[in-house]
Chain A
């Protein structure tokens, strides 16, 4: 229970469903702030008090479990290391993979619990053979199946998402108000929970180190300087501060980040287009597909709020390979590609190899 409206309603619904429920708040920082600020709806002492008050109203016991050290190592340090390597990680997905449905779930099972219920918007469906499948939430606008794509069959077997079938977030808020929860109208949290003021670039600069470096075009010609390559993401257009337009007058985009040489490579939008993304770190959300001998038609989603696009999935040379029907753009290594069959999440991989769709550029 983060102290937000979703986990509070999820806990109440789990009780209504007849489960014996204990509220657990994850302490993810050794030095939590005292009061909630801005758009962050978690991780302060005020948030933990909000969670406790919801637990009081539901009538369940409530404890704080300290995962701050694991969180720092598995999520925060990973986030920094990934950016330092020129990649773009998704910390929420890592947190689900390594904390909420790993460290927390393991501890809970060891202590005698059967499952972890969270306020995520996603559905778990059991097929005719009793296999658990992960599906998108009824409300696609709130759907969080992307950040849960890392869950395996074992984890799904011990997970509950009581909000998954709710038609809309407004309904969850109305239910929270009807239940008397003080958090009914608490703002949604966005931004990254461990970056206090939402200034990801400034936060990273302090940790990764920011040295001035060159912004180059694809031919290696210097177009400008930047204040630290690690703060850039492939596909980024803003913040390049190049003083003169491109020859064709079109905007430039970040094509590549090279942390070793502290260089940022920019070019036209078309150069972002990819015909293939692949990765060797993958998992199946439930039962793996029976046969990947021939490419499987699927949908692929590459960011939490991106639209899924039609593609084919293959499994070769120890990696999953996705070929989108139309070229994909704005993909950065380190992002996760989540594979869907309709509403079902089939699995995911971390993108570590891409193939450009553009004709080979002649410099």
Chain B
């Protein structure tokens, strides 16, 4: 069995979530039906919603189930942009560089087709969004529809100063959406005291099933739906709700978490001693407890990925790919890395089931893989000629 160190991509379903889902699959009834079967399904759905609300510090009515993180982000950004711009609040969106593609492609689409003005906020060399730039953008422009930001970088793990962003935006009367998909169950989240207007999460990143996520939408939010139909979920997201998936999601949301910091620090120290030239990227302290992200000089991350895969260890280059075509990460480029540095990126992320033995397997395979990857070098790159 391969060692799996790509839990930020997806993490295995927790046994409690799996069991809950299998049991719920046998339940008959559309949660919108009036009869007793429908009522039973509805009860299970709302209990799930309450448990998820509990894990996020929000009211159950604020939890809107979606098909996953990408839909949540799309609903938040498009929905808030449409509602705010229709109300005359403006068409400008403030976005840090180094967001996930769910955000980048959404705001770029709004810019292309819906008349949005996108203001990219710089990040520092650790991948942290600049509060100074956020403040000056908010004071320079009085047509800001919304601010959206990751709660923590899905790639390099840096925790973002969301509190600071919310404080500045709130002063300017601008709503904030936080993409907490990678941070959920790794950082404390209390939506009600956060001042956020919307927050995206996904079930499969926390040990729940694939295909379900949620957007927390504050009671006071102005938001237009992406999907119209039967008017379920405050008319924000129509469609028959997936009770078994919601039940399994809630089981994962209820499951106690334990910090992975100790194992992560062992992994980071181990990589640094196995390959002394490797550079830890992202904030060394304020980072997700499951994230270790390095660049390895003189080689391609995808060569390392292949060699570690062949040695039985699954890791990630961390960057977006289209049909598996590796791209130099826009997150790393925004942090000021050169394209050659960025090409040597490798992300290793832990899950609740990760063990010391998993880390040992990685660390024992890494030196030979690195040597070989360096020999292959940047052979596909023109700059290496």
Contacts from A to B (Cβ < 8 Å): 22, 25, 27, 30, 32, 45, 48-49, 61, 63-70, 73, 103, 106-107, 110-112
Nearest CB on B from A79, distance (A): 17
What are 22 pairs between A and B in contact, CB < 8 Å? A25-B324, A27-B323, A27-B324, A32-B322, A45-B323, A49-B323, A63-B306, A64-B325, A66-B325, A66-B326, A69-B380, A69-B381, A70-B381, A70-B382, A73-B382, A107-B376, A107-B380, A111-B303, A111-B306, A111-B307, A111-B373, A112-B307
Binary CB contact string for chain B from 368 to 385 against chain A (1 if under 8 A, 0 otherwise): 000011011101111000
Q: Does B155 contact A (CB under 8 A)?
A: no
Given contacts A48-B323, A70-B382, A111-B307, 10 further A-B contacts (CB under 8 A): A25-B324, A27-B325, A49-B323, A63-B324, A64-B324, A69-B382, A107-B379, A111-B303, A111-B372, A112-B372
A110 CA / B326 CA spacing, docked (Å): 19
Q: Does B302 contact A (CB under 8 A)?
A: yes
B372: chain A residues within 8 A (beta carbon): 110-112
Given A63-B306, A67-B380, A106-B379, residue A32 in contact with residue B373 (CB < 8 A): no
Q: Does B309 contact A (CB under 8 A)?
A: yes
A240 CA / B303 CA spacing, docked (Å): 51
A45: chain B residues within 8 A (beta carbon): 322-323
B324: chain A residues within 8 A (beta carbon): 25, 27, 48, 63-64
A72 (CB) vs chain B CBs: closest residue: B382
CB-based contact B323/A110 at 8 Å: no
A27 CA / B327 CA spacing, docked (Å): 11
A66: chain B residues within 8 A (beta carbon): 302, 325-326, 380
Given A65-B302, A69-B382, residue A110 in contact with residue B322 (CB < 8 A): no
A107: chain B residues within 8 A (beta carbon): 303, 376, 379-380
A45 CA / B324 CA spacing, docked (Å): 9
CB-based contact A32/B325 at 8 Å: yes
Majority SS of interface residues in chain A?
mixed
A103: chain B residues within 8 A (beta carbon): 379-380
A108 (CB) vs chain B CBs: closest residue: B376
A48 CA / B325 CA spacing, docked (Å): 10
B377: chain A residues within 8 A (beta carbon): 110
B307: chain A residues within 8 A (beta carbon): 111-112
Nearest CB on A from B116, distance (A): 23
A107 CA / B325 CA spacing, docked (Å): 16
Shortest 9 CB-CB contacts between residues of A and residues of B: A64-B324, A110-B376, A27-B325, A45-B323, A110-B375, A107-B379, A48-B323, A107-B376, A69-B382
| Contact partner, B323, options A22, A32, A61, A112, Cβ 8 Å | A32
A217 CA / B156 CA spacing, docked (Å): 66
Nearest CB on A from B108, distance (A): 15
A29 (CB) vs chain B CBs: closest residue: B325
A49 (CB) vs chain B CBs: closest residue: B323
A112: chain B residues within 8 A (beta carbon): 307, 372
CB-based contact B379/A63 at 8 Å: no
A67: chain B residues within 8 A (beta carbon): 380
B377 (CB) vs chain A CBs: closest residue: A110
B379: chain A residues within 8 A (beta carbon): 103, 106-107, 110
A144 CA / B40 CA spacing, docked (Å): 67
A65 CA / B109 CA spacing, docked (Å): 29
A111 (CB) vs chain B CBs: closest residue: B376
A32: chain B residues within 8 A (beta carbon): 322-323, 325
A61 CA / B305 CA spacing, docked (Å): 13
Binary CB contact string for chain B from 275 to 315 against chain A (1 if under 8 A, 0 otherwise): 00000000000000000000000000011001101100000
A110: chain B residues within 8 A (beta carbon): 372, 375-377, 379
A65: chain B residues within 8 A (beta carbon): 302, 380
Nearest CB on A from B369, distance (A): 10
Nearest CB on B from A5, distance (A): 20
B322: chain A residues within 8 A (beta carbon): 32, 45
A25: chain B residues within 8 A (beta carbon): 324
Nearest CB on B from A80, distance (A): 16
B382: chain A residues within 8 A (beta carbon): 69-70, 73
A27: chain B residues within 8 A (beta carbon): 323-325
Given A66-B302, A103-B380, A107-B376, residue A61 in contact with residue B325 (CB < 8 A): no
CB-based contact A70/B323 at 8 Å: no
